[in-house]
């Protein structure tokens, strides 16, 4: 039985958008344009996407840490579309797996990047603390995730820790009988193999990964693989969002920022353990359940758990706003154009 990726994240080029179930695809012109450049340079779509993201991240990092310099505004204006395009290229995959929340987030990344770039252009960013904070938020949200992603030893450690945490929670709840299978690796365009058979560089990732990347299967007491845990299952993305938002508050004393991080990160991890354990148990216990053609795994992972996770993050943000009112000020200022648009429409 093939494992379901409990938190699937794209690695392959998201160049096509599914329009029906008959294997007919409509090519996304933006992804196709990026893919044509990848072909010209003789690299994969995945590598091209990572290059776009890396270039945008480097420029954004310089514009944040050297925000008082005259060139920082120009760098930021250029980097925002690069960052937006990087995340947009994930959207095709999320269309294929029917994940509505991530479709919305990734598809909206490019227009959001262009809008913020325009905001940078028309604003006096040297004296705008919110714009500077927003740059740092993006930088310090991306850096932790892609450092872990790009170092195989760290990547596998996070995956293993996530899988073991879910297994222990299931055991504690009285649903024992699960065990973690051997760590696997799925490379771009290749069949998945055990990590023990992989002869790649384990210090720095030097080849593009496939959809699964490094993953650990969860096996039930009948020897069937129920789900597979990958890096995205660790809630590292959620943690990175809060790390970025907090670390970027340069005007706030480091002790206050550290206190907020010590509250946010462990809380996210504990909530994520409950989430993962619940998805495993539901998938294994109700294998024949379906709703409008949707299997229990898809419902639990892409809808129920996603909504619950977003609500938990919302509550977490409210708690942090009380600890860090400066963070609340910046978030409300970033959201002000949306609020004004809503008022205009109503």
Residue 102 has pLDDT above 50, yes or no: yes
Structural domain contains residue 305 = no
CA distances from 158 to 120, 151, 209 (A): 36, 11, 16
pLDDT of amino acid 188:
78
CA distance 261 to 264: 5
Residue 117 falls within a domain, yes or no?
yes
Kind of pairing between the strands at 225-229 and 4-5: parallel
The single residue listed with the structure tokens 């820790």 is 161
Statement: the pTM of the whole predicted model exceeds 0.85: no
CA dist., res. 280 & res. 97, Å (int): 18
Helix (H, G, I), strand (E, B) or coil at 202: coil
Q: Mind listing the pLDDT tens digit for each residue in 233-258?
A: 999 999 999 999 999 999 999 999 99
Rg (CA), the chain: 21
Give the pLDDT score at 13. Answer: 31
Mean residue pLDDT of the chain comes to: 86
Strand (E) positions, 153-208? 179-180, 184-187, 193-194
In a domain, 326, yes or no: no
Residue 9 has pLDDT above 60, yes or no: no
Is residue 343 pLDDT above 80, yes or no?
no
Predicted local confidence at residue 254, as pLDDT:
93
Report residue 302's pLDDT band, with 50, 70 and 90 as the boundaries: confident
Residue 206 DSSP one-character state: -
Residue ranges making up the domain that contains 76: 11-127
> In this structure, what token pair is assigned to residue 312?
């938990």
* SS3 state at 310: helix
Domain assignment of residue 107, yes or no? yes
* pLDDT tens figures, 116-170: 999 899 887 555 889 999 999 999 999 999 999 999 999 999 999 999 999 999 9
60 and 79 in contact (C-beta within 8 Å)? yes
pLDDT at 63 over 80: yes
Token digits of residue 298: 């898809």
pLDDT for 107 beyond 50: yes
Q: What is the pLDDT of residues 185-228, one digit of tens each?
A: 998 788 999 999 999 999 988 888 887 899 999 999 888 999 99
Judge contact between 129 and 251, C-beta under 8 A: yes
Residue 175 within a domain: no
Q: How far apart are CA 106 and CA 233, in angstroms?
A: 18
CA distances from 339 to 101, 117, 122, 134, 335 (A): 21, 19, 19, 18, 6
> Tokens 């690299």 correspond to what residue?
43
137 to 66, 87, 103, 133: CA distances (angstroms): 15, 15, 22, 6
CA distance 145 to 161: 16
CA dist., res. 60 & res. 67, Å (int): 10
In the chain, the number of structural domains is 1
């Amino acid at each position: 039985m093939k494992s379901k990726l409990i938190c699937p994240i794209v690695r392959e080029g998201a160049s096509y958008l599914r329009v029906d179930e008959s294997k007919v695809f409509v090519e996304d012109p933006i992804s196709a344009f990026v893919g044509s450049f990848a072909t010209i340079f003789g690299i994969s779509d995945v590598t091209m996407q990572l290059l776009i993201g890396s270039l945008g991240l480097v420029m954004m990092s310089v514009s944040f840490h050297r925000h008082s310099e005259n060139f920082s505004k120009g760098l930021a204006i250029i980097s925002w579309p690069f960052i937006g395009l990087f995340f947009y290229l994930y959207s095709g995959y999320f269309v294929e797996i029917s994940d509505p929340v991530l479709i919305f987030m990734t598809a909206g990344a490019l227009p959001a990047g262009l809008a913020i770039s325009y905001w940078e252009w028309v604003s006096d960013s040297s004296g705008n603390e919110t714009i500077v904070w927003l740059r740092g938020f993006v930088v310090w949200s991306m850096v932790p995730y892609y450092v872990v992603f790009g170092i195989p030893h760290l990547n596998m450690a996070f995956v293993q820790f996530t899988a073991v945490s879910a297994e222990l929670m299931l055991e504690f709840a009285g649903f024992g009988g699960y065990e973690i299978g051997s760590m696997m690796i799925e490379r771009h365009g290749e069949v998945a193999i055990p990590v023990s058979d992989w002869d790649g560089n384990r210090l720095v990732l030097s080849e593009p990964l496939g959809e699964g990347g490094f993953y650990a299967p969860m096996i039930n007491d009948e020897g069937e693989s129920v789900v597979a845990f990958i890096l995205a299952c660790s809630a590292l993305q959620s943690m990175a969002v809060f790390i970025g938002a907090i670390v970027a508050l340069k005007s706030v004393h480091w002790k206050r920022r550290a206190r907020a991080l010590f509250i946010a990160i462990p809380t996210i991890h504990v909530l994520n353990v409950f989430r993962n354990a619940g998805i495993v148990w539901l998938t294994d216990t109700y294998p024949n359940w379906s709703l409008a053609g949707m299997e229990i795994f898809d419902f639990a992972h892409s809808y129920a758990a996603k909504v619950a996770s977003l609500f938990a993050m919302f509550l977490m943000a409210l708690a942090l706003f009380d600890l860090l009112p400066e963070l609340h000020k910046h978030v409300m200022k970033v959201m002000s154009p949306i609020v004004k648009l809503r008022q205009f429409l109503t």
